[in-house]
Structure 1
Amino acid sequence: MFSENQIYLASRSPRRRELLRQIGVKCNLLMMRETLGREIDINEQPFVDETPTDYIYRIAQSKADESWRRVIQRRLPILPVLVADTIVTIDGCILGKPQDNKHAEEMLKTLSGRSHQVLTAIGVGVRDKIQVRLSTSTVRFREISEREIRNYLANNNILDKAGAYAIQGMAAAFIVEISGSYSGIMGLPLYETAQLLEEIGIEIFQ
């Protein structure tokens, strides 16, 4: 059992913080970068012939390793570290976060009228032991007109969203069907998260 049943969350995402609160987990933010202009030591570019699954496992493992190094370097209290990463894939291609609105428009046109997969990997690190779990969901979009895409992008900040959309926002109107984890599509699959945390002594629903 850890002090006051708390963990570090190595993510700036308010959605992930809210999801952890939903299952009664207290978290302290662990910033990978002390300043936004400083790069972190993780290569987030896919390797040649790297599958989406291999890619997201690698990123989650790397983020967990790097986050734990931050805890040690900063001499912080020893608490478990939780990391997460989400990607959208279609036809074996990885759609990460769009570079700009033009890139986002291209992504949404690609997703229009088709099914795609949302992969979210979570990693929990305690000292030198890191475990990673993967949640895979399928989302089917209806056909989206160019006018709808432009209006959506004009009224939503999507540059920090994998695949250029957020399921909990206006994009829900594009979704015909979901198979898998709603919270995983949001960015933190609560079933897998609760399993990992309970395995290391973090009590859920306190």
Structure 2
Amino acid sequence: MTAIILASASPRRRELIHQIGWTADIEKSCFHEVSDVAEAEDKRKRYPASLLDSFSGVDLVCAVNALGKAEDVLKETGTGIPVLGADTVVTLNGKILGKPEDEEAARQMLRFLSGNTHQVKTGVALLKGDRKLLQVVTTSVTFRKLTEDEIGKYIATGEPMDKAGSYGIQGKGTLLVESITGSYDNVVGLPLVTVYEMMKVLQKDL
């Protein structure tokens, strides 16, 4: 059975890991996440060009956050077990939509997403010893045209309040979505096929 250390307290990511039969010890990272491209570009300077050179824009934000979380936990654990870090963002027209601060912010985000196709991006970092693998996976999600009543009722469920983009596709938010192109697991918070393939590469290289 494959064992990892998950640098995330997200119950959704933990459930996804268990779904494929892996075990995961949870170690929440204290890494201070970057929130925009400018911050990510500044963080990029800490790393060898080869590690982050292929990422730009919102992809760079996800990559830096995933890598930072994994590195922070790796320093604390110091074990031979691979550490998995991840960061998921919702973006539309270059704007990053984080978790809403309040119900009004959630309402504004859902109005923004209504009737449009946005992207969900997850940066995935898998570390063991000095070996570092890093990828960003993108899924396109198209929302139905939502009415104000639908938005209000969804917000009233409380589901949007702890989720990037103010919705959860694995919950009641599935009714907001008309279609997706790409990995469903990625929208939930962790692209499982990508993680699996990265683990195969890591095990082969070691």
Q: Shared topology, TM-score over 0.5?
A: yes
Distance 1:29 1:127 in 2: 18
**Matching residue's letter, 2:112:** T
Considering only aligned residues, what root-mean-square deviation do their CA atoms show, in Å? 1.7
Q: Could you say which structure has the higher helix fraction?
A: 2
Q: Deviations over 1:142-168 (max 9, x none)?
A: 111111111101113322211010001
Does the CA contact (< 8 Å) of 2:97 and 2:109 recur in 1?
Answer: yes
The equivalent residue for 2:133 is 131
TM normalised by structure 2 equals 0.85
Does the CA contact (< 8 Å) of 1:123 and 1:130 recur in 2?
Answer: yes
Distance 1:169 1:157 in 2: 8
What does residue range 42-57 of structure 1 map to in structure 2 within 5 Å? 42-48=32-38, 51-57=57-63
The 1:185/1:147 distance shift into structure 2, 3 A limit, reads same
**Matching residue's letter, 2:185:** S
Find the partner of 2:194 among 178, 192, 195: 192
Structure 2 stretches of 5 or more lacking a match? Answer: 42-56
**Matching residue's letter, 1:100:** D
SS of 2:195's equivalent in the other structure is: helix
Does the CA contact (< 8 Å) of 2:159 and 2:168 recur in 1?
Answer: no
Q: CA deviation at 1:11?
A: 1.0
Q: CA deviation at 1:95?
A: 0.8
TM normalised by structure 1 equals 0.85
Structure 1 stretches of 5 or more lacking a match? Answer: 33-39
**Percent identity, aligned pairs only?**
37
1:14 aligns with 2:11: yes
**Matching residue's letter, 1:108:** L
The 1:150/1:28 distance shift into structure 2, 3 A limit, reads same
Number of residues of Structure 1 aligned to a counterpart in Structure 2: 188
